[in-house]
A and B are shown apart, each in its own frame.
Chain A
Amino acid sequence: MITLNHYTILAAILFAIGAIGVLVRRNPLVMFMGIELMLNAVNLTFVAFSRYLQNLDGQVFVFIVLTVAAAEVAVGLALIVAIFQTRANVDVDEIDSLKG
């Protein structure tokens, strides 16, 4: 029998892996993938709770999170492309022009 806890712990593991990815990787593309992982983990929690509470409000928010994630990827990748046009290498440690 698969309970709510199974899904939430899976979501917690995926969220933690995504957070580790954002903390460890220096390629902004892969950092974005970590953010996508975290958003997906949150979506899984939403759907699991909505199934066990028999209430579909959470799934409407999953739909909105999907839209926000798509917009975020589009804007983020456009930013990365714009940064790449001015410097050859994409490494977040080297993008420090705003550093005081």
Chain B
Amino acid sequence: MSELGEPLVFYVFAALAVLGALGVITLRNPVHCALSLAIVFVSLAVMYVLLSAPFIAVAQIMIYAGASLVLFLFVIMVLNPQLEIGEGALPGQALAAGAVGFALVIVVSLALVGGKLFPTLGPYTPQVIAQQGHTQIIGGLLFTDFLLPFEITSLLLLVAVVGVISLARGRNK
């Protein structure tokens, strides 16, 4: 990536991600919200490519944009919920939530600007990643250092599958 190219790609897709996120929380029609969410997912996949993590980028597209979003759209189509009308339960709910979110961004930014990081750098520079292959390194870590979390994740997926099937069958059968 050239010196000029990286900031350009970053700012374009960061702006797209923020606009898509704002669309998710402001648009009235849930289908439009889901499509805005797709913009966020794809922009973040581009970010992962910029951060030299191509495997994560592909997984992001396949799992989030592919599986999760299609499931969202299916459920929206099946349920066909009405558009939200009017304010929330509390007066000034949107304003208070906006203030909380703004304060969150300010606090995190202050912590970043004021804080200092004394890192011990690992061996995986972008050159090493390009040489060995990102997928190979992630796979190696997953099956050696992180075998226990990996197995627990597979158990979690099993529990989710059983739970979804029992929920979908309903209690009267």
Q: B41 near A40 (CB under 8 angstroms)?
A: yes
In the complex, which of the residues B3, B59, B79, B84 contacts A66, with contact meaning CB atoms closer than 8 Å? Answer: B59
Which residues of B have CB within 8 Å of A9?
Answer: 105, 108-109, 112
B2 close to A (CB within 8 Å): no
A95 close to B (CB within 8 Å): no
In the complex, which of the residues B59, B94, B138, B160 contacts A56, with contact meaning CB atoms closer than 8 Å? Answer: B138
Determine chain B's interface SS by DSSP, over half rule.
helix
Q: A36 near B64 (CB under 8 angstroms)?
A: yes
Interface residues in B88-114 by Cβ distance below 8 A to A read: 88-89, 93-94, 96-98, 100-102, 104-105, 108-109, 112-113
Which residues of B have CB within 8 Å of A30?
Answer: 24-25, 30, 33
Interface residues in A1-22 by Cβ distance below 8 A to B read: 1-2, 4-10, 12-21
Q: How far is the CA of A81 from the CA of B93 in the complex (A)?
A: 27
Determine chain A's interface SS by DSSP, over half rule.
helix
Which residues of B have CB within 8 Å of A8?
Answer: 108, 112
Q: A20 near B79 (CB under 8 angstroms)?
A: no
- Number of A interface residues at 8 Å Cβ cutoff, please give it: 72
14 contacts between A and B (CB under 8 A): A8-B108, A23-B97, A24-B97, A25-B25, A26-B88, A29-B75, A56-B129, A56-B141, A60-B142, A64-B150, A77-B75, A78-B164, A78-B168, A80-B75
Question: Interface residues, chain B, CB within 8 Å of chain A?
Answer: 3, 6-7, 10, 14, 17-18, 21-22, 24-25, 30, 33-34, 37, 40-41, 44, 47-48, 50-53, 55-56, 59-60, 63-64, 67-68, 71-72, 75-76, 78-79, 81-82, 84, 88-89, 93-94, 96-98, 100-102, 104-105, 108-109, 112-113, 117, 119-126, 129, 137-138, 141-142, 145-146, 149-150, 153, 156-157, 159-161, 163-164, 167-168, 170
